[in-house]
A and B are shown apart, each in its own frame.
Chain A
């Protein structure tokens, strides 16, 4: 393993509280965002992604003050996304403490933003977020606006375009697998990781350390991200922030590498 894979909790914000969705719907309240970030930081997670899921629909400005508060608690990198549409917002978010900004809707409505941001702040600060839905017939569609609108072009094509524009990273999320803990859509992950040479973070479906490992080993992703898995715990899915230890992840990666099925 030449690049150490990253395992990344994704936190969804609604106002300043965290929620967890299922297939991009609903929104079960998890808790206070800053508190959660502080706990994740104590547990030394590799990195986190924080997304304000209502910002685009409500045409709200990114919450720079919240980002500043998050940065006080996060001694690891974090990406912030949700309603990011201008260079000015990106500058303020980066100066407030985010390592990177995740851009979703604006990638479709104003792709120039990606290249402007990469040119000004460096590719490593620009993460393009792609949401993908699979039709009943199995066809993959990129969607935007929190899953409400479909966009032309395959996920691989969009990923390539993002990379060409200068994005440093792709956050690839499966809408269908969101919140259901039944494994990543590995075929989707594979399709995108084979199309680009920039890092791809897989998101949507992780329910176990074996799932996380499979995104890396079978999917070819540089990082495996998860929402539900790191905030729910136990059969009854109570809210509890939990993170696999490095030893657990090493073991899971080894199992995936050897092609051993999980027990």
Chain B
């Protein structure tokens, strides 16, 4: 069973729908107990980092996600969910779950050759920069839907496996152990997203 965590901040329905269309059993989970039965975990998220962390702490899901990672269960963070897996975010100057060796900063238009509007909203191509089972079957011209004002910066060069560019290159996907995060929304990225979620659902525990 794929557990899709509902922290009350984002739309879990689309993730569940896409998984169900792919023929996988996905359940919306709100408590640590319900997470025990899951074979893999998705942490979606939209909105403010501190609100996300608060909800995870209030529900005990923060420890539950860490436990799932220790048990080597595949964990996938989506958008804010990916950011929450990191160790810290500039948004609210707040500690994250620390499961990805990375931190989160705001897009800095000053670093861009031509300043672009923030939030970054729209479809972008991604570039593989490392191997990960989630990349299996990914189209060469794959594009994904991004919508975010903050982005991940890796502390470990081996962690990122997808890169995208918005004014400057940024980490679009990163991993550590059985934990991975994608900055974009696979559940809103048509066939490209379906392929990635399909690989997540079929991913074996050890890779």
Complex contact B13–A124 (CB within 8 A): no
Residues of A within 8 A of B190 (CB): 41, 44, 75-76
Name, among A94, A99, A223, the residue most crowded by chain B CB atoms within 10 Å (CB to CB): A99
- Complex Cα gap A75–B14 (Å): 7
Contacts of A71 in B (CB 8 A): 11, 13-14, 17
Whether B14 pairs with A125 at a CB distance below 8 angstroms is no
Cβ contact within 8 Å between A121 and B187: no
Known: A77-B185, A124-B147, A125-B47. A96 touches B13 (CB 8 A): yes
Least Cβ–Cβ distance between A34 and chain B, in angstroms:
13
Indicate if A57 sits at the interface (CB-CB under 8 A): no
Known A75-B190, A94-B46: A3·B119 in contact at CB below 8 Å: no
Q: Does A197 contact B (CB under 8 A)?
A: yes
Of B114, B123, B148, which is within 8 A of A6 by CB?
B123
Cα A240 to Cα B119 with chains together (Å): 34
Asked if A4 contacts B187 (CB within 8 A), the reply is: no
B interface residues, how many (CB within 8 angstroms): 39
Separation of A77 and B185 alpha carbons in the complex (Å) = 9
The answer to whether A194 has its CB under 8 Å from any CB of chain B is no
Q: Does A198 reach chain B (CB closer than 8 Å)?
A: yes
B115 at interface (Cβ–Cβ under 8 A)? Answer: yes
A119 (CB) vs chain B CBs: closest residue = B48
0 or 1 for each of B161-199: is its CB under 8 Å from A? (1 = yes): 000001100000000000000000101111101100000
**Is residue B117 contacting chain A, with contact meaning CB distance below 8 A?**
yes
Complex CA gap A44/B187 in Å reads 13
**Residues in chain B near residue A3, CB distance under 8 A:** 116, 122, 166
Collect the chain A residues with CB atoms within 8 Å of residue B193's CB: 75
Q: Does B143 contact A (CB under 8 A)?
A: yes
Question: Does A4 contact B123, Cβ atoms closer than 8 Å?
Answer: yes
Counting CB contacts under 8 A, is A147 at the interface? no
Most chain A Cβ neighbours within 10 Å, of B13, B46, B121, B124 = B121
Interface contact B119-A124, CB-CB below 8 Å = yes
Could you jot down 20 A-B contacts, CB within 8 Å?
A3-B122, A6-B122, A72-B13, A74-B188, A75-B187, A75-B189, A75-B191, A75-B193, A95-B8, A95-B13, A96-B13, A97-B11, A120-B48, A122-B119, A124-B149, A125-B46, A168-B121, A197-B118, A199-B121, A223-B122
A interface list, Cβ under 8 A from B: 2-6, 41, 44, 46-47, 68, 71-72, 74-77, 94-99, 119-125, 168-169, 197-199, 222-223
A6-B123, A68-B13, A75-B188 known; 20 new pairs, CB 8 Å cut-off, are: A2-B114, A4-B124, A4-B125, A44-B191, A46-B122, A46-B123, A71-B11, A71-B14, A75-B190, A75-B191, A76-B189, A77-B145, A94-B11, A96-B11, A122-B46, A124-B149, A125-B47, A199-B117, A199-B121, A222-B117
| B interface residues (Cβ-Cβ under 8 A, vs A) | 8-14, 17-18, 46-48, 51, 114-119, 121-125, 143, 145, 147-149, 166-167, 185, 187-191, 193-194
